[in-house]
Amino acid sequence: MDDEGASTSSASDSETQHHESAAAEHGLESVKRKLCRLVASSLSVTVPGLDVEPMLEVSKPGFGDYQCNNALSLFSSLRGTGTNFQNPRSIGQTILNNLPSSDIVESTSVAGPGYVNIVISSDWIAKMIQDMLIYGIKTWAPTMPVNRVIVDFSSPNIAKEMHVGHIRSTIIGDALARMLEFANVEVLRRNHVGDWGTQFGMLIEFLFEQFPNWKEVGNQAIEDLQSFYKASKIKFDDESSGFKAKAKQAVVRLQQGEDRYRAAWEKICQISHNEFDSVYKRLGVELEEKGESFYNPYIPPVLEELTNKGLITKSEGAQVISIAGQKSPLIVVKRDGGFNYASTDLAALWYRLNVERAEWIVYVTDVGQKQHFHKFFSAASMAGWLPDQNEKEYPKTTHVGFGLVLGLDGKRFRTRCSEVVRLVDLLDEAKSRCKEELIGRLTENGKIADWTVDELDTTSEAIGLGAVKYADLKNNRLTDYTFSFDKMLSDKGNTAVYLQYAHARICSIIRKANKDIEELKTKASITFVHADERALGLHVIRFQEVVEQACADLLPHYLCDYLYSLSEAFSKFYASCQVVGSPEEASRLLLCHATAVVMRQCFNLLGITPVYKL
């Protein structure tokens, strides 16, 4: 009995090691990276002694699968050097001739002035997909040059309700964190909330005046924190009330750590945290808060270090760091002796580099803060904390800027009363509109009886919130975008709703076949009979290189573009290739399943919950 158990265990361990080994083998490089290695090898023989980066891109339809474009630029640089190349095409032909043999490549050709077209082996594409289905989508995770990254995003101010202005930082930051986590990077998700400063003296003093027994009253005193903030701000701005002086004194007492003021500050922060957490939970966003107050104790020693290095000087009563090429310096201590964003940011960066040992710190804020981050990063480089703004060296910092959310009038998105749109209201409306549309569609099709109340609610939430996220992420983050419920909730074109329907349709096809997909993975094989199914298979395996590029450039819209084109490729395949009941049913079901797996992974990286039934 023991021997049998040992034998079974040994076989199981062996099988596990085999799977892990195979997973590692197939997860090392994307298709494009593998081809780049082949091209690089060829270039080293074609132009020995020259360090040439492979120029490889996806081909246009009809010209192979990938295209090497090095010939033209190489001919320009080699002209007049006495080489034997007569024209770019001769270089292209030499690159082709020197390509190492590989089971990846099915055929090659030279086109036009010297483009080297490469056709990928159909058998290899099929094997890549089959291996992914067996060993998991994680085997297609890209490899990043760093192990630990901090993504600083969302960062609302305490005592102010989250509004539409916070949505881009929250959604973009979460997508970037998800992408890097998928690439096996340890991501520290940081919420650098504004929880320190003048406004807290104002809020605390107003709390004491309005509710002398605030401890007994509890949260009821400031249940509506937004209204409480507005009322305190009105009094603070009234110069005749004498309230401003009291508020400033309250800040001093808070910073000195007086128990009463500290307790009031903690109460206000906790109420804000509860409101923030409810929004984050709904969006499926995870964050660890380290606000301005956390870094406050580190500011004096950091400023002392910068002073000792001769970087801080006095200017008009303030302490500043002069930045080359900038008209105005980086102010690190205000005239009144108070600290500011720059001093907090410097302290936070010191902590992140020296305590948390981050190799890459990514700051997700609007493009309007670009100049601040340029000065801040330059000061860190001057201090020797960072390489001299060299993007290829680590540790490094990156500002991920994004544009504005605009209304249909082309101005900042606001309510009809010119108020900033509350984020919770925006999410509620997206869900409500989606639910109304879904119920109408199901009623019209006679399928409403097949749905429970809970299914309608969760599906509407998933589609509605996913639509809001996708409408943001599908744009290049650097541009402004116009917020339109009608466009984002449309089931036509490049929208999350269209993609959800495409995914649900694939799931429906697989259910209709009534086959055991897990069994098919090991007993059936993928073969390409029709051009459209090969085209779909090729698109599926390009997932890895797209994620790799999106991580490197910190641009989530690459994933959105890929996801939309993948769904279009599937639609074309399904229109021309019968799945259920065809001689190729098993192969095509596996291809359908692989498409759905990749779509779900894209949804996950974008923070969107997929639906399986619509």
pLDDT in tens, 140-163: 999 999 999 999 999 998 877 788
Contact between 111 and 524 (Cβ < 8 Å): no
Q: Is the pLDDT of residue 224 over 90?
A: no
Burial class (CB within 10 angstroms; exposed 0-12, middle 13-18, buried 19+) of 439:
middle
Report the pLDDT value the prediction gives residue 415, as an integer from 0 to 100: 58
* Of the candidates 538, 563, 407, the residue with the CA atom closest to the CA atom of residue 485: 407
Amino acid occupying residue 385: W
Amino acid occupying residue 267: K
Q: Is the pLDDT of residue 84 over 90?
A: no
Q: Is the pLDDT of residue 267 over 50?
A: yes
Read off the pLDDT of each residue in 522-536 and give the average, rounded to a whole number: 95
* C-alpha of 392 from chain center: 20
Read off the pLDDT of each residue in 472-501 and give the average, rounded to a whole number: 93
Distance CA 195, CA 176 (A): 25
Distance CA 140, CA 30 (A): 7
Distance CA 391, CA 395 (A): 9
Question: pLDDT class for 390, splitting at 50, 70, 90?
Answer: low
DSSP state of 65: S
DSSP state of 577: S
Please give the share of the chain, as a percent, with pLDDT higher than 90.
67
Q: Which long-range contacts (CB under 8 A, 24 or more apart) does 379-385 make?
A: 379/306, 379/311, 379/321, 379/323, 379/330, 379/342, 379/346, 380/346, 380/349, 382/309, 382/311, 382/321, 383/305, 383/306, 383/309, 383/311, 384/309, 385/349, 385/350, 385/353
Which has more confidence, 164 or 465? Answer: 465
Distance CA 377, CA 365 (A): 15
Ordered alpha helix ranges (H), 183-289: 198-210, 214-217, 225-237, 243-255, 259-283
Report the pLDDT value the prediction gives residue 498, as an integer from 0 to 100: 96
Question: pLDDT class for 600, splitting at 50, 70, 90?
Answer: very high
Dihedral sign for Cα atoms in the order 118, 123, 125, 127: negative
Phi/psi for 190 (5° steps) reads: -110, 130
Q: Mind listing the domains of the chain with CATH numbers?
A: 31-120 (3.30.1360.70), 126-189+403-614 (1.10.730.10), 198-285 (no CATH)
Read off the pLDDT of each residue in 169-173 and give the average, rounded to a whole number: 96
Which has more confidence, 185 or 388? Answer: 185
Which has more confidence, 432 or 390? Answer: 432
Distance CA 73, CA 56 (A): 13
Report the pLDDT value the prediction gives residue 9, as an integer from 0 to 100: 35
Please give the share of the chain, as a percent, with pLDDT higher than 70.
93
First to last CA, the chain: 51
* Of the candidates 427, 426, 428, 453, the residue with the CA atom closest to the CA atom of residue 439: 453
Report the pLDDT value the prediction gives residue 417, as an integer from 0 to 100: 52
What lies within 8 Å, CB to CB, of 233 at 6+ separation is 202
Q: Which residues of 292-402 form beta strands (DSSP E)?
A: 312-315, 318-321, 330-333, 360-366, 396-402
DSSP state of 157: B
Report the pLDDT value the prediction gives residue 172, as an integer from 0 to 100: 97
Q: Is the pLDDT of residue 258 over 80?
A: yes
Read off the pLDDT of each residue in 191-208 and give the average, rounded to a whole number: 88
